[in-house]
Amino acid sequence: MNELTTDLKLLHEATLNNLKSSKANNTLRAYKSDFKDFGAFCAKHGLNSLPSEPKIVSLYLTHLSKNSKISTLRRRLVSISTVHKLKGHYLDTKHPIIVENLMGIRRVKGSIQKGKKPLLINHLKLIIDVINKQKIEEIKKLRDKTIILVGFGGGFRRTELISIDYEDLEFVTEGLKISIRRSKTDQFGEGMLKGLPYFTNENYCPVANLKNWLQISKIKSGPIFRRFSKGSILTENRLTDQSVVLLIKEYLKLAGIENKNFAGHSLRSGFATVAAESGADERSIMAMTGHKTTQMVRRYIKEANIFKNNALNKIKM
């Protein structure tokens, strides 16, 4: 009996490890952070956070709804549910008290979600032009231009962008192939391949700028986007994803563009929006951005065509 109990205990531990391994480390950290907030709410009101029950979770969601978006509420619900699973507890997130409460909150608040602004072609050109005018070392100008152009041209998430290594690159006649070893939606590490063709205008061409960057930086292995130390000395250290956000915001401001609603995601959403405006279909957009569902891509396409297919165009004034 003791031997059977030991075996079951080992199986239980192995199962919990499998559940943890099914999620990326960043995702697990986000779950823990979300659950910490739920735990604080429960402690304040003398409620149990683990294991919890649908009624308590529903109260927490109502509490959150005062200052949070619907998307935040849904993410917190997933986090609470996942932590319960990892700890061996069951929580019925489909219970009517949770589902109907969310529906009511959604009706009261409205379901339109405002995301970060996409970085469009006019923004991109203004940024590159303003970088060229900066009184800084050419090597820093070239790095910053390359980050933004490659990020936009490949529809990259900022974490994917700063994770690119020299070994992931293959220059071919048509342009550049970039191997993405792992991304946010690729939890099993299957990877994907992105192709960036040459642009006619070399000034805005991600492939041409990347070639120049690799030549001037003399990078032959490891991270291609690195930090500078004082005196514009290139280090071996990889840039952080937050650095991408700061660069975008800095150069938008220098170009005279309000930068409050732009972020690292603006490169990816900008590519999708511009591609949709140019007539690219959702499948080809998804092949580049790595979106797993059509929902978000269709939103980009809808927004891109808001004036193109506008019924008001048919009215003669």
How far from 107 is each of 67, 93, 103, 125, 315, CA to CA, in Å?
Answer: 15, 19, 6, 40, 34
Query: Does residue 51 have a cis peptide bond before it, meaning omega lies within 30 degrees of 0?
Result: yes
Neighbours of 230 (CB within 10 A): 5
Catalytic status, residue 63: no
To the query of whether residue 299 is one of the catalytic residues in this protein, the response is no
Phi, psi angle pair for 238, to nearest 5°: -70, 140
Contact 72, 108 (CB under 8 A): no
Which residues are CB-neighbours of 179 under 8 A, at least 6 positions away?
168, 169, 170, 191, 192, 193
**Pair of tokens at residue 308:** 């193109």
The answer to whether 228 and 140 have CB atoms below 8 angstroms apart is yes
Q: Is 157 a catalytic residue?
A: yes
Give me the torsion for CA of 54, 55, 57, 63, rounded to 10°: 160
C-alpha 287: how far from chain center: 16
Q: Clarify whether 265 is annotated catalytic.
A: yes
- Catalytic residue (one of 123, 143, 157, 194): 157
The H-assigned helical ranges of the chain are 2-21, 25-44, 54-64, 70-86, 96-109, 121-133, 138-153, 158-162, 206-217, 241-254, 265-277, 282-289, 294-304
179 has which bridge partners?
193
Closest to 231 in 3D by CA, of 140, 148, 128, 146: 140
- End-to-end CA distance of the chain: give it in Å, rounded: 87
Annotated active-site residue 184? The verdict is: yes
Evaluate whether 267 touches 127 at the Cβ level (below 8 Å): no
Name the active-site residue from 60, 204, 251, 300.
300
Q: Of the listed 74, 85, 87, 184, which one is catalytic? A: 184
The verdict on whether 123 is a catalytic residue reads: no
Q: How far is CA 214 from CA 84, 143, 173, 246, in A?
A: 47, 9, 18, 22
Residues designated catalytic: 157, 184, 265, 268, 291, 300
